[in-house]
């Protein structure tokens, strides 16, 4: 396990060998292409940063926790974050501001992409305006993955941030201590992207992209187990809604200007 721990890289974008054959990326350009994936959107962080997010309820979006911290490891104010569902070439299915958010207990923005942080690298956002399911149907979470699980990923990323890209088929390589490894194509901006698994005839969220390694011609992505974390985050979000954001433990409002509204994680490849 030591090897993979050393090569985790954050995939928030700022202004500044596979087990089986995987499929390439498909750009979801037209409305028909996007059908069924409308709940995946771009999480815009101020003026110069973004991640990927996904609706799990009309007013709740999952993304990576490291996305909501700036370079100084300070929490980004919720009022400069915007979720844009199904964004493609300037057109959105729907969009909303963010009223508040919570991050998984124990997540440390100063610790970087350590294994302990990857398994906690989840944030849950409460939208100011719910997005009707008729426009973007939220996804449910998947259960425990099966051995050899095949997955897919929908994400925004560097040089492909104007529309989502869908990797129809890639694989779960391993799962250990609440962390998963995938041979999926990721890049800066893919942080928070949902990793989907089929459960019967339905597509469900198995994990979120936390980080990855794309050096040497082979892509690796890393994510976390979600069910217990998301259950806790929903409780925390309900509690946060009953008090001012400034009173939330671990959060403080900051002034963000220029290109500072980006993640504090480093992007250097291993």
What digits encode the pLDDT tens for the residues 48-58?
Answer: 799 999 999 99
pLDDT > 90 fraction of the chain, expressed in percent and rounded: 60
Out of 76-85, 143-152, 209-218, 236-245, give the one with best mean pLDDT. Answer: 76-85
Burial class (CB in 10 A: 0-12, 13-18, 19+), 170: buried
Question: Residues near 103 by Cβ (< 8 Å), separated by ≥ 6?
Answer: 65, 68, 120, 122, 123, 233, 250
Residue with tokens 């897919």, as numbered in its chain: 152
Give the pair of three-digit tokens for residue 37: 């994936």
pLDDT grade, residue 224 (50/70/90)? very high
Question: Residues near 57 by Cβ (< 8 Å), separated by ≥ 6?
Answer: 138
Q: For residues 255 and 240, what is the distance between their CA atoms, to the nearest angstrom? A: 21
Q: What is the pLDDT of residue 148?
A: 85
193 alpha-carbon distance from chain centroid: 4
Q: What is the pLDDT of residue 215?
A: 66
At residue 17, does pLDDT exceed 60?
A: no
Question: Using one digit for the tens of pLDDT, what is the confidence trace for 83-140?
Answer: 999 999 999 999 999 999 999 999 999 988 789 999 999 999 999 999 999 999 999 9
Residue 137's alpha-carbon distances to 17, 35, 202, 229, 254, in angstroms, are 35, 10, 12, 22, 33
The helix (run of H) or strand (run of E) holding residue 34 is helix 31-34
Q: What is the pLDDT of residue 23?
A: 66
Mean pLDDT of 199-219: 85
At residue 258, does pLDDT exceed 60?
A: no
pLDDT grade, residue 237 (50/70/90)? very high
Helix (H, G, I), strand (E, B) or coil at 235: helix
Q: For residues 111 and 246, what is the distance between their CA atoms, to the nearest angstrom? A: 23
Check: CB of residue 12 under 8 Å from CB of residue 46: no
For the chain, the average pLDDT equals 82
Burial class (CB in 10 A: 0-12, 13-18, 19+), 270: exposed
The helix (run of H) or strand (run of E) holding residue 45 is strand 40-45
Check: CB of residue 52 under 8 Å from CB of residue 155: yes
Question: Using one digit for the tens of pLDDT, what is the confidence trace for 133-163?
Answer: 999 999 999 988 988 899 999 999 877 888 8
Q: What is the pLDDT of residue 268?
A: 24
Question: Using one digit for the tens of pLDDT, what is the confidence trace for 180-192?
Answer: 999 998 877 789 9
Give the pair of three-digit tokens for residue 259: 């290109």
């Amino acid at each position: 396990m030591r090897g993979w721990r050393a090569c985790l890289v954050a995939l928030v974008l700022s202004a500044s060998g596979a087990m089986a054959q995987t499929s390439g990326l498909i750009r979801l350009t037209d409305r028909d292409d996007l059908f069924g994936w409308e709940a995946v959107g771009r999480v815009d962080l101020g003026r110069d940063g973004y991640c990927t997010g996904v609706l799990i309820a009309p007013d709740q979006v999952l993304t990576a926790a490291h996305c909501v911290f700036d370079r100084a490891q300070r929490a980004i104010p919720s009022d400069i974050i915007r979720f844009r569902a199904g964004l493609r070439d300037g057109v959105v299915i729907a969009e909303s501001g963010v009223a508040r958010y919570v991050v998984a207990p124990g997540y440390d923005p100063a610790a970087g992409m350590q294994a302990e942080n990857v398994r906690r690298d989840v944030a849950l956002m409460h939208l100011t305006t719910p997005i009707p399911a008729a426009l973007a149907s939220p996804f449910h979470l998947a259960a425990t993955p099966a051995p050899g699980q095949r997955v897919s990923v929908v994400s925004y990323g560097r040089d492909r941030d104007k529309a989502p890209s869908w990797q129809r088929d890639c694989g779960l390589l391993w799962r250990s201590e609440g962390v998963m490894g995938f041979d999926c194509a990721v890049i800066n901006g893919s942080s928070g992207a949902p990793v989907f698994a089929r459960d019967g005839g339905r597509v469900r969220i198995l994990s979120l992209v936390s980080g990855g390694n794309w050096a040497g011609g082979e892509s690796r992505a890393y994510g976390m187990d979600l069910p217990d974390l998301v259950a806790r985050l929903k409780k925390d979000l309900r509690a946060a809604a009953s008090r001012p954001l400034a009173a939330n433990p671990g959060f403080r409002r900051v002034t963000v200007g220029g290109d500072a509204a980006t993640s504090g994680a480093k992007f250097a490849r291993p």
